[in-house]
Copies of this chain bind each other. A is one copy, B any other.
C-alpha cells in the first residue's frame, strides 16, 4: 500500500479524492499497489464528510510521517505551496500538482531537487486541465525537436469568445453571463487578461525547449478589447478569434506571446469551442499534432493529478521527468516576429485605401457594410515593429488583431 497526502480540499482536492474513490480498483491495478489517502491538509474542518477523519491542519504531520510517499499539492498559489513542496521533496516524498503559478515560477528548481533524490515532481494538471500534454511532451514526442506550441489554454476566455461569436454580443455582457454560470471568476483578470495562459505557455515552452522560460518575459495581451465589431469582421473573413498562447523557434530565435488571434477553418484550433482547450504542437519530423480536451473542471483536472499519482507510485525510486535547465532561455523581442495583421481603420475605404496601401503595401480589404465610417484590411507578412511604425504613420487605425500562420 502506498500512502499519500492531499494538500488542499478545494475543488481539485475533493476531485482527487472522488476520482481515487470512484476508480480505485483500476487505479490500484495500474499503479501496481493500492493507493490510500492517509491525510488531507486543510485549514477547515468538514464535519459530516467522510474525509473529516483524514483532515489535519499541520503540514508537519505529513512531512514527518515516513509512510507518506506521495504528496498531492492542489492548494494553488505560490505560498505556502512552494515551501511545502520543497520540504516534501527534500524529505524524499514525490509531489504532484495542478499549481501552474508554482510550476511556472519554481519548476526548474523543484525538478532539480526531485532528480537529485531520484523521486518525482509531476504537474500534468498544471496545463490544459485533463488534457494529457506534459507527459506526451516528456515521453512521447522524444524523436522530435519541437519548434512550435500553440495553445488555447484558458477555458474562460474561450467560452467568452465562443459566445461572442455565436451571439454577436459584446465582451462585457458575455463576461457577466459567464460569471453567473460559474465559467468566470468574480475577479476575472487572471483569465481575461491572459495571465493564466501566460503561465501555462511558460511551463510548456520550458519543457519543450529544455530551458527556463520566465513568464514575466512573455508579451501578454488579453481579450478585453475584443468587440462585437471585431467578431463581425472575423465572420466576414470566415475566421474565428481565439486567445492563443504560443512559443515558436524560428532559426535560433525563440518567440513567445499570449494574444487574441484570427484563425481560419483549416486550422485545427479553429473549432475548439466553449470551455474546451487544445494544444497544437509542431515537431520537425512529426509535423502537426493536437491534443484536445477539458481544460478545467473538477474531475478532468483531478484525472490528470491522479494520473501523476499513478506514475509516481510506479516510479517510487526512479526519476522520470525530463527537466528543464534553470539556465534562462532568452526570448527574442517580439518586435522582430513576423505575421499578417488584420487592421481596422477609420474612414471610407473608397477614398482611404490608396493611402493605406502607400503605407502598408498591398492589403486585402475586408468590408462589413453595417459598420459605417470604418473598414478593415489584412496586411502582408510584416514584423511587429513594422506594423507599429506603419500604424503610427497611418494615423487612423482603430485596432488590430494578429493572424495565425500567416
Q: Does A349 contact B (CB under 8 A)?
A: no
Q: Does A130 contact B (CB under 8 A)?
A: yes
Select the residue from A19, A287, A297 with max chain B CB neighbours within 10 A. A287
Which of B30, B145, B271, B286 touches A265 (beta carbons < 8 Å)? B271
Contact across chains for B289 and A23 when beta carbons are under 8 A apart? no
Q: Which bracket fits the contact residues of A?
A: 35 or more
In the complex, per-residue mask of A104-143: 1 if CB is within 8 Å of any chain B CB, else 0:
0000000000000000000010000011100110011111
Q: Which residues of B contact A145 (CB under 8 A)?
A: 23, 26
Q: Does A306 contact B (CB under 8 A)?
A: yes
Complex Cα–Cα for A285 and B306 (A): 11
Q: Which of A12-43 contact B (CB under 8 A)?
A: 18-19, 22-23, 26-27, 30-31
Contact across chains for A307 and B132 when beta carbons are under 8 A apart? no
Q: Does A161 contact B (CB under 8 A)?
A: no
Contact across chains for B27 and A143 when beta carbons are under 8 A apart? yes
Within the complex, what minimum Cβ distance (angstroms) separates A366 from chain B? 23
Within the complex, what minimum Cβ distance (angstroms) separates A130 from chain B? 5
Contact across chains for B286 and A289 when beta carbons are under 8 A apart? no
Residue of B nearest to A134 (CB): B140
Residue of B nearest to A137 (CB): B132
Contact across chains for B139 and A311 when beta carbons are under 8 A apart? yes
Contact across chains for B136 and A140 when beta carbons are under 8 A apart? yes
**Top 8 A-B residue pairs of the complex, sorted by shortest distance between their CB atoms:** A143-B306, A132-B140, A289-B293, A290-B292, A142-B310, A286-B303, A30-B142, A285-B303
14 contacts between A and B (CB under 8 A): A19-B143, A26-B145, A130-B289, A132-B140, A142-B311, A143-B304, A143-B305, A143-B306, A143-B309, A276-B288, A286-B294, A288-B293, A289-B292, A290-B291
